[in-house]
Amino acid sequence: MTQKNLLEDRVVIVTGGGRGLGRSHCLELAAHGATVVVNDIGVSLDGGQADDGPAQEVVDTIRGAGGTAMLGPGSASDWDAMGDVVATTVSTFGRLDAIVNNAGILRDSVIVNLTEQDWDAVLDVHLKGTFTLTRHACAHWRSAHKSGQPVRGRIVNTTSGAGLAGNVGQSAYSAAKAGIIALTQVTAMEGARYGVTANAISPIAATRMTASAGLGTEVSEGWSPLDPENASPVVAWLCSEQSGWFTGQVLRIDGNELIAMEPWRTGRSFVAQSGERLDAAEIDLGMRQALGAFPGGLAALGSPAVSR
């Protein structure tokens, strides 16, 4: 299969498509033949200073290379705007085949310093923004399915290591990214009945967000393990018809390694000695033993000893 054939005739909406990962995704999708609708209001990292210039530049770049692209205006978290983007995409190109939810902002702070406004802003863009476009796209696909049209819808969401394991100073961001994983799983369950898959990527890449966390944005010449472009081939495959067997998953992208993450699973346990309900008095010892620690310390877990 040639590069152009993978996504030929498929139409994809990408939020946060003006910079970083989103920009790379848009260019990769277009290189594989997709028509790309670029959504990005061009805000600063904390959500201010809107400017659609970056999104327009991506559209112009795709068109300049012989591809097809257009702007999809509005904030990803704006219910009506995302409904309009879906409707306009379908009316303009006659179809919608995939969406890539990538828009996001950061307002990092430890919990005791985090404001309600900052918490709401981060969840609004990341979690609500992912839900809003997903909901409108799924409504379109379900309607198409009911009318007898073949549907091969693809949803690609964006989570992160913070969503998988948390990170100090990123309670809002981590909560939003963890919520996106749960939303992805539910969307996969519900979308299966009308031909829609949903997956999430967790890229390790040098972006504005990593720079704000003090992790740098250095990308070496040639191929670099931190180049945002490393995640984009995965997005292209997830948006293709080829990936129709694959849904409800999180893929971690670390340089040139693609890792299928395992979901929460049953861990170690202990059973109440009485054979009936648990007794609060036995839980401390029971959990220490279940986790490989014993009375007198938690050395087996690599923690300082706890005297009793």
How far is residue 178's CA from residue 176's CA, in Å, rounded to a whole number?
Answer: 5
Rounded CA Rg of the chain? 22
**Which stretches of 114-222 are assigned E, i.e. beta strand?**
153-158, 196-203
What are 203's strand-pairing partners? 253
How does DSSP classify residue 49?
S
What are the catalytic residues?
173
Neighbours of 284 (CB within 10 A): 11
Phi, psi of 274 (to 5 degrees): -75, -15
How far is residue 131's CA from residue 23's CA, in Å, rounded to a whole number?
Answer: 21
Amino acid at 173: Y
Q: How far is CA 300 from the centre of its chain?
A: 35
